[in-house]
Structure 1
């Protein structure tokens, strides 16, 4: 009996030990799930969502189809051709001769602005062409002639003789266009005809300052504009022309988000001048200006942060006759706000000589409005030399110790830009006294294209010097 009890105890202990070992080492342990609260933060998470202007416009209920339908048939494809001479054999090569071939030198867009075939485009689209070809949206092709150009504004006017009344785009008021307003760019990028893209006006009065001393005022937009769009239409949702697409800013040469257009008010004024006078009649107030910054605020005692400071008054100008003074701050013209010089130059580019504008200024802390009669800016480009000349003021002549001459206003080529000629007075051309720009025009009109030009000028030391340009 004792032996039986001993065996029972041993068996019990062995079972207990085995069960304990299993529980401790072999049985799977349960997974306990606990909820933890995330750490608080002051940064709010945001979602990244890819959108585009077309879908955004559609979501907001804007329909571009009407504007596109009104304008797409009035935007044309402009091709410029040049003649090249290629030798057909070794003998022609040695004799510097060869066959004459017509080759496409470039292409762009143009906008029909009248039913009888006037077309506006960029000057750089047609510059250097010996022949121009215009293709309409219906694939009809016409030869075009150049009516006139305005290289400084990059505008050219063409004319085709069509056998039908053409679709055209009416001019809108670019001054009333607003930042954030929807626009369409219509053109022929990469030779793809009848292309329409949409965007908004990103900025106005944008000055790219691409040319020396030639300040321009562009409409900036984010509508896609690529090579070939140049000269095409920028239109509002009503189908009105508010700009001529001109330039893009890109490291690659293609669109990356910004493009620029000549405002329609400026383009229309240029076109009207070309048709009526044969060239552009530029109007000026007759002031030199400086933009507001810390230095100019200190120099002129100005507290304003926006506007244009009058740094000088030209004699016998509309500004002098109206009573404008050095140190005045121009704030508005005809109710248009002037925040910087590009606002001023952009508005004046749409005005004509003898127009009267109301200039609102601040003088000694007081606001006043003065009517100013604009005068014609007399200028002439001597292309063979690479300079532009204007009529000098009395102060210009006095400062240089002469009583007649014309002033070099800017240089036209990189070669001439090296010599810092702006402000120099020219007194004679081909030993003929020049008293104004008209005298320069008469002298140059009588010269043959390859004839040498002799120019006498007063250098910065007050000495008279003569140069011959061949």
Structure 2
């Protein structure tokens, strides 16, 4: 009898402990609807209630020598098979593209798997791949994999099947974000494209020819490749692909390109081929651009493109000589758009841009891809050469309408202010931190907020001794002040913080 009571009390204690852990977790991570994908990834590793059984230590060193097993086993469970269904003729297959059509080139192919050309309005199916990028079911893939599909089926490596919902698409980068309703999924953590080197080993993982969870290996053959396969009516397409010689084929579209640590380096998108199957080279959208596009689609439903507002050309030896340049480097500014960010910053025709922030610029594709990772309103440092002299200017990027406005996020509480997304502190946060009001920074990029030393998670409670309760109040105080503003707030751990925003 005593043994029975002991077992029952032990069970109740375990149950109570689980409830306390779950409650504490929710208090520690309120407002998660405002998170970026990367914050979702980081939060998952800190979660006290995660039941993801796969090894999630991405800090593990790759074993000495050439070893593909670690990355393959890490990533395969997070690469999904996407099957789409179309009810009518609305998406041409590679086999039906008119080779004489302007801009078409049969040497380059997307490579999701088609079952053949459309025939009248007979339903047809297509297949591709996708990469789970957060444990709550967000999946990165190519736009051309799911474009105009009437049904999307997502099949995991363990054969579980789900209906996929399109969160948003971006034809200018050929990326899309979809979601399935599931929790604690294996996912691929973002890597750093800036640390990816020519000659480095990578793996391509996808589902070619319906052969699920296929892994192939190759090296990075090039970076910043423009292969002219994306078209946009406003000429806003960004092509700065990673080139690799890992074998990819129809069905690999939307799959993962990863390094030997199992970190996501890119989304496989196209191949160079005369036949439609692998002939040695493939191309992937780099993760630096993928991260920004995924977060925009998650937050706004569409990509918020930041523009410098310049017409540029690559600089070669001939052009450097013609323009009296000291070095063969950078991109030549041919023209400046009216009311553009570049015009406002004093950039002129004839200037040669050779550096943006910490990134050296040596081609049009490099400039476009770097600027493409920012939002309207973000401030960047631009180095350029003019009449033989190196100069630097700060540029506040604008959108296609010539302003820095961002649409209201789908999660309506969040507002972008001087490069930072802000939202009112939640009731749980205010209670836990002992504050009666506050505005939390949920995302931050270059701008006056970041320049003041504030970071994600910091809650602004007062500005110049005035309590603030909304992001609109923060904006008005900063915008109307002609002097430095003293900001008081609290960090997530309860420590008070003080900052000054320069006029």
Specify the TM-score bucket, using the shorter chain as the normaliser.
Answer: 0.5 to 0.7
2:297 is aligned with 1:277 = no
Q: Does the 8 Å CA contact 1:281/1:377 hold for their aligned counterparts?
A: no
2:130 is aligned with 1:131 = no
Aligned to 2:142: 122
Q: Does the 8 Å CA contact 1:248/1:259 hold for their aligned counterparts?
A: yes
3-state DSSP of counterpart to 1:284: coil
Find the partner of 1:140 among 135, 146, 160.
Answer: 160
Structure 2: segments with no counterpart, 5+ residues:
1-61, 90-119, 403-503
Q: Does the 8 Å CA contact 2:317/2:328 hold for their aligned counterparts?
A: no
Aligned to 1:219: 242
Find the partner of 1:194 among 213, 228, 235.
Answer: 213
| Count of aligned residue pairs for this structure pair | 307
What is the CA–CA distance in structure 1 between the aligned matches of 2:176 and 2:189, rounded to whole Å?
17
Aligned to 1:166: 185
What is the CA–CA distance in structure 1 between the aligned matches of 2:365 and 2:87, rounded to whole Å?
40
Q: Which has the higher contact order (CA 8 A, sep 6+)?
A: 2
Decide whether aligned partners of structure 1 residues 378 and 199 sit closer, same or farther in structure 2, where only a CA change above 3 A counts: farther
- Offset from partner CA, 1:186-220 (integer Å, 9 cap, x none): 10011001111111111000001123443411000
- Deviation for aligned residue 1:82: 2.1
Aligned to 2:482: none
2:273 is aligned with 1:250 = yes
Give the root-mean-square deviation of aligned CA atoms: 2.3
Q: Does the 8 Å CA contact 2:173/2:238 hold for their aligned counterparts?
A: no
- Offset from partner CA, 1:159-189 (integer Å, 9 cap, x none): 1112x41000111121221111111111001
3-state DSSP of counterpart to 1:275: helix
- TM-score w.r.t. length of structure 2: 0.58
What is the CA–CA distance in structure 1 between the aligned matches of 2:87 and 2:309, rounded to whole Å?
45
Q: Does the 8 Å CA contact 1:209/1:215 hold for their aligned counterparts?
A: no
Structure 1 runs of 4+ with >6 Å offset: none
- Deviation for aligned residue 1:370: 1.7
Aligned to 1:210: 229
2:370 is aligned with 1:347 = yes
Q: Does the 8 Å CA contact 2:77/2:157 hold for their aligned counterparts?
A: yes
What is the CA–CA distance in structure 1 between the aligned matches of 2:146 and 2:244, rounded to whole Å?
24
- Offset from partner CA, 1:274-323 (integer Å, 9 cap, x none): 11111110001121112224664465333432210111222332212222
- Deviation for aligned residue 1:136: 0.1
Aligned to 2:86: 82
**Aligned residue runs from structure 1 range 69-468, under 5 A:** 69-83=73-87, 103-162=123-182, 164-212=183-231, 213=235, 214-293=237-316, 296-297=319-320, 300-378=323-401
Structure 1: segments with no counterpart, 5+ residues:
1-57, 86-99, 380-470
Computing the radius of gyration over CA atoms, which structure comes out larger, 1 or 2? 1
3-state DSSP of counterpart to 1:375: coil
Decide whether aligned partners of structure 1 residues 378 and 260 sit closer, same or farther in structure 2, where only a CA change above 3 A counts: farther
Choose 370-379 or 308-317, whichever is displaced more: 370-379
What is the CA–CA distance in structure 2 between the aligned matches of 1:180 and 1:229, rounded to whole Å?
22
